[in-house]
Amino acid sequence: QVQLVESGGGLVQAGGSLRLSCVASARTFSRYAMGWFRQAPGKEREFVAAITWIGERTNYADSVTGRFIISRDNVKNMLYLQMNSLKPEDTAVYYCAQYFSPYTYYGDNGSSGFGSWGQGTQVTVSS
């Protein structure tokens, strides 16, 4: 079972930027699509972005398209989320997640397609 640890969250003013990181413990990291999700207080967890195992394809929620960029470094077992032009509504706990099956990504945005999760990192955007 892979362990995922997020970092990089914090407090930022609206319009600012943050870069989230997620390190994976397993050598099999490069075989799996990865995703970022977020959960705001009182709301359900929602999809943010996903990337295929070699990074040739990405998928974004409409709410973050054009502002966030997902990327990965398979040599370092790292997943990233560059967040620009942040808005107060981006405030949430952000989670990285590994897709349920290697060398597979159906483009689905539901959390049920992801089998392993990190503990989350808090992002707070002030107005």
Examine the pLDDT at 76 and tell me if it is beyond 90: yes
What value does the mean pLDDT take over residues 2-23? 97
pLDDT tens figures, 95-104: 999 999 999 9
Examine the pLDDT at 59 and tell me if it is beyond 90: yes
What value does the mean pLDDT take over residues 39-51? 96
Residues 49-55: contacts with CB under 8 Å, at least 24 apart = 49/81, 50/99, 50/105, 50/107, 50/109, 51/79, 52/105, 53/102, 53/103, 53/105, 54/30
What value does the mean pLDDT take over residues 3-28? 96
What average pLDDT is seen over the chain?
Answer: 95
